[in-house]
Amino acid sequence: MARTPNIGAVARAAGVSVGTVSNALNSPERLAPETLERVLDTIDELGYIRSSAGRTLIRNASDGLSLIVPDLDNSLFVDIARGAQLTAAAAGRRLVMANSGFSSRDLVAGAAPHDTQDEFLGYFAEARSGGMLVCAMRDPTSGIDRIRNHVRPIVVVNYDAPGADWCTVLMDNAQVGRIAVDHIADLGITQAFYVSIPDVVQPAAERRTGMREAAARRGVTVTEVDAAALTASVGSDITTGLVGALADRARRGERTALLFLADDLAIGAIPVLRAHPDLQIPDDVVVMGMDGDHRPTGNDWMTMTSIELPGYEMGAEAVRLISAESDPDHAHEREVLPVRIRPGATTTGR
């Protein structure tokens, strides 16, 4: 492993004193702009990260783990965090979590994401975390490379980076799309609308790939519809625009499936369909979500078919791999966990 750069190495490389490097980090206003720029460029080049803890705190923190999740409004990441925390606790290790605030809505709108994934990578590296779990919705490679000499082991969850030099835990997102199409094909349905955000995040792209493969294999004609966001209101608006075509098909005795990337989209669709006099769920239209986000309750008008995602298992497996990395003979692993269908009345009628 490459030697971790210290403040002296930065000073030598920048041609300044250790005190000047310290000023650049703590009192930059004391330095001439060109000197400050040279020192900061050297810090970036060497990958130096100052330690916020003394040796005693570092020793105490060595068993602590860090988890970065992109979005705690998404139940998948809540489940991942729960699996990681409980598994870490069972092993006698503490886990500290940070939410980077990623939003796919920014990417759909063509804006750069405003998440703080890289900032938290640096923060936990500075705190000398004993291991880091990075649950990512975008490629974390550059941020990890920046801290790699300061934190080991690192496990990435939910993002498959080509040539990754770390362990990875994934779910089979292509299987999500395949299961959805196979389910409606088993019901005898040959026409479907597939509602998803564009392929701005890896899971959306992989689920679309699986959906298309299964549709070709099963002879299902799928019309793809772009969603601006994964919300109930967007699902309602899209379905409002489709009910005319759905009703025409129903009058001809044709049954149609609505497949939604997210359960929230499907939840928005159901009231629109129920309000139409010529449409019945599931006799004329079947509705299916694909992220298991909506847990059935006794207050549901009818249970919704969806795909159960292995969030808890992903978090637990990530902690296991963190522990396995302590073995000097350990080889990096790429774990892909299966998903399963959760049948409900919106497709089966029961």
Query: Does 177 share its domain with 287?
Result: yes
Query: Does 210 share its domain with 257?
Result: yes
Cα pseudo-dihedral 277, 282, 283, 286, rounded to 10: 100
Q: Is 157 within the bounds of a domain?
A: yes
Tokens 């939410």 correspond to what residue? Answer: 99
Predicted confidence (pLDDT) per residue in 274-308, tens digit: 999 999 999 999 999 999 876 655 445 689 999 99
Please provide residue 5's backbone torsions phi and psi, each rounded to the nearest 5 degrees: -70, 140
Reading the block at residue 90, the tokens are 């069972």
Query: Does 299 share its domain with 331?
Result: no
Please provide residue 166's backbone torsions phi and psi, each rounded to the nearest 5 degrees: -160, 170
- How many domains in the chain? 3
Q: Is 162 within the bounds of a domain?
A: yes
Q: Is 2 within the bounds of a domain?
A: no
For residue 6, what pLDDT is reported? 80
Query: Does 222 share its domain with 264?
Result: yes
Pairing mode, if any, of strands 306-308 and 340-342?
A: antiparallel
Query: Does 178 share its domain with 302?
Result: yes
Please provide residue 228's backbone torsions phi and psi, each rounded to the nearest 5 degrees: -80, -20
For residue 52, what pLDDT is reported? 52
For residue 104, what pLDDT is reported? 75
* Nearest CA among 321, 317, 4, 22 for reference residue 171: 317
Query: Does 324 share its domain with 334?
Result: yes
With contact defined as beta carbons under 8 Å apart, do 290 and 159 qualify?
Answer: no
CA distance 324 to 234: 43
Tell me the residue type at 313.
Answer: E
Predicted confidence (pLDDT) per residue in 11-65, tens digit: 889 998 877 888 787 777 678 888 888 988 888 888 777 655 444 444 444 578 9
With contact defined as beta carbons under 8 Å apart, do 40 and 31 qualify?
Answer: no
How many other C-beta atoms lie within 10 A of the C-beta of residue 307?
24
Q: Is 1 within the bounds of a domain?
A: no
Query: Does 288 share its domain with 177?
Result: yes
With contact defined as beta carbons under 8 Å apart, do 100 and 110 qualify?
Answer: no
Where does the chain have alpha helices with state H? 7-14, 18-26, 33-46, 55-61, 75-90, 104-108, 117-126, 141-147, 173-186, 202-218, 232-251, 263-275, 311-324, 345-348
Query: Does 209 share its domain with 268?
Result: yes
Query: Does 135 share its domain with 154?
Result: yes
Q: Is 289 within the bounds of a domain?
A: yes
DSSP state of 29: G
How many other C-beta atoms lie within 10 A of the C-beta of residue 301?
11
CA distance 159 to 136: 6
Q: Is 183 within the bounds of a domain?
A: yes
Pairing mode, if any, of strands 95-99 and 132-135?
A: unpaired
For residue 326, what pLDDT is reported? 78
Residue 155: helix, strand or coil by DSSP? Answer: strand
- Whichever domain contains 24, its CATH number is 1.10.260
Q: Is 300 within the bounds of a domain?
A: yes
CA distance 169 to 154: 11
> Which residues span the domain enclosing 193?
173-310+342-348
Please provide residue 103's backbone torsions phi and psi, each rounded to the nearest 5 degrees: -140, 120
Cα angle: 310, vertex 152, 172; to 5 degrees: 20
**How far, in whole angstroms, is CA 159 from its chain's centroid?**
7
Query: Does 197 share its domain with 135?
Result: no
The region that residue 315 occupies, defined by phi over 0 for left and psi between -120 and 50 for alpha, beta otherwise, is alpha
Q: What percent of the chain has pLDDT over 90?
A: 61
Q: Which pLDDT tens digits describe the chain residue by residue (350 residues)?
A: 456 678 888 888 999 887 788 878 777 767 888 888 898 888 888 877 765 544 444 444 457 899 999 988 889 999 999 999 999 999 889 999 999 988 777 767 766 666 788 888 988 888 888 899 999 998 999 999 988 877 779 999 999 998 899 999 999 999 999 999 999 999 999 999 999 999 999 999 999 999 999 999 999 999 999 999 999 999 999 999 999 999 999 999 999 999 999 999 999 999 999 999 999 999 999 999 999 876 655 445 689 999 999 999 999 999 999 989 878 888 999 999 999 999 999 999 87
* Nearest CA among 42, 13, 19, 44 for reference residue 31: 19
- Whichever domain contains 81, its CATH number is 3.40.50.2300
CA distance 140 to 115: 12
Query: Does 191 share its domain with 225?
Result: yes
245 Cβ neighbours under 8 A, 6+ residues apart = none
Query: Does 13 share its domain with 78?
Result: no
CA distance 124 to 29: 26
User: First-to-last CA distance in the chain?
Assistant: 58
